[in-house]
Amino acid sequence: MKWPQGVSSAATASGIKSEGADLGLMVFDAPATYAGVFTTNAAAAAPVIWSRSRIGRDIRALVANSGNANACTGRDGVAAVQEESTAIAAILGCSPDDVVVASTGPIGVKLPIDKIVGNLGGMKANLSDDPEPFARSLMTTDTYPKLAMAGMGEGTVLGVAKGAAMIAPNMATMLAFIVTDVACPQDRLQTLLAEAVDASFNRISVDACESTNDSVMCFSTGRTDGDLSRLEGALDEVCASLAEQIVRDAEGGTKLMRIEVRGAADTAAAVALGKAVAASDLWRCAVAGEDPNWGRVLSAMGSCDRRLEMGDVEVSIGSELMFLRGEPVGRTEIAAKVMSFDEFSLVCVVGDGPGHAQVLAADLTTDYVRFNSEITT
């Protein structure tokens, strides 16, 4: 894969993490149209606040680090964001306001800004059209870099992402950066990105824990003129692929489940019911143990919609119908076999409404507990 026309990137090991690349730089040949969707968490990190406030401006560069979230770091965190933006702006000859930043890693730890500033000049000299080193520099507990590309004939959309935990309810502990060379007005790009995020990153769950640093940024270099309806489809495709890769790489995860809700009052209701199932630790433990304890699915949905009529509900694990309009049915041994695979579907019909949605989720394993009991120690 190569970046679309008009953008290049570099990565380096700055020492923020104990090993491996942890600092990425993306530079645009000319100011790029910029859109973004960010966490709504009240504890949003300093880089989120900075980059969110730049929406509507054209952007020359992005600086992203892993190994430190620069979240809940007070005045020092704000100063660090300003310092890294000023440093790369001086190198590129632009305004600090033309630079966006992103961070991911442990919360509440002061960002070692000297390590970032001291490496930016050398990174500029190593810019290339290969996105993989940049994608690797974003990784924390990820086991592989996440990339996705969609061609449009006259243009390209390419995205990279990181994320493996603190996934949901509104995006995830994730960073995603998407670039297209198709020209698109800022307001249209913002709308397309928001819709793509809502249908992808906002419909995944690993642990139902919202993050302070969620950022999805999209840039258009405007090098080609293309059909914006085709751009919409390509952007949806890239976001969907990156979101699924995040769930497949969930911390400690061994299974991906596709929770499909049909017959809800509307799409929002279907999404809410799907997320309720995805957030159920009881059900996710059952998935890890390949135990078709479908009662936990009903319990999760019933706690989400207290007016849900069990006489209208059906639950299937794979193609095996387990609950039919108030009555238990189905064969446990067949459902258990379905759940033994790395990926399976859970279909919940909740009525005869038009609402339909799919939510992707992972199981809950002892490895997840171990990973998240050792973050700061």
Q: What is the pLDDT of residues 63-72, one digit of tens each?
A: 999 999 999 9
User: What are the pLDDT digits (tens) for 267-298?
Assistant: 999 999 999 999 999 999 999 999 999 999 99
Average pLDDT, rounded, for the chain: 93
Region 324-348: what's the mean pLDDT? 97
pLDDT value at position 169? Answer: 42
d(CA 146, CA 2): 14
Domain ranges for the chain, please list them.
Answer: 7-248, 256-371
Looking at the structure, give the CATH architecture of the domain made up of residues 256-371. Roll (3.10)
- Give the model's confidence band at 58: pLDDT under 50 very low, under 70 low, under 90 confident, else very high: very high
Contacts with 177 (C-beta within 8 Å, 6 or more apart), sequence order: 26, 62, 64, 102, 159, 160, 161, 216, 217, 218, 219
Region 303-319: what's the mean pLDDT? 96
Region 201-210: what's the mean pLDDT? 79
Tokens of 70: 């620069």
pLDDT value at position 171? Answer: 41
pLDDT value at position 226? Answer: 85
pLDDT value at position 21? Answer: 97
Region 179-199: what's the mean pLDDT? 97
Region 289-316: what's the mean pLDDT? 97
Supply the residues annotated as catalytic.
Answer: 173
- Give the model's confidence band at 173: pLDDT under 50 very low, under 70 low, under 90 confident, else very high: low
Residues 13 and 170: beta-carbon distance below 8 Å: no
Do the first three CATH levels of 7-248 and 256-371 match, i.e. the same topology? no
Contacts with 72 (C-beta within 8 Å, 6 or more apart), sequence order: 43, 45, 107, 108, 212
Residue with tokens 């790029």: 32
7-248 CATH fold = L-amino peptidase D-ALA esterase/amidase (3.60.70)
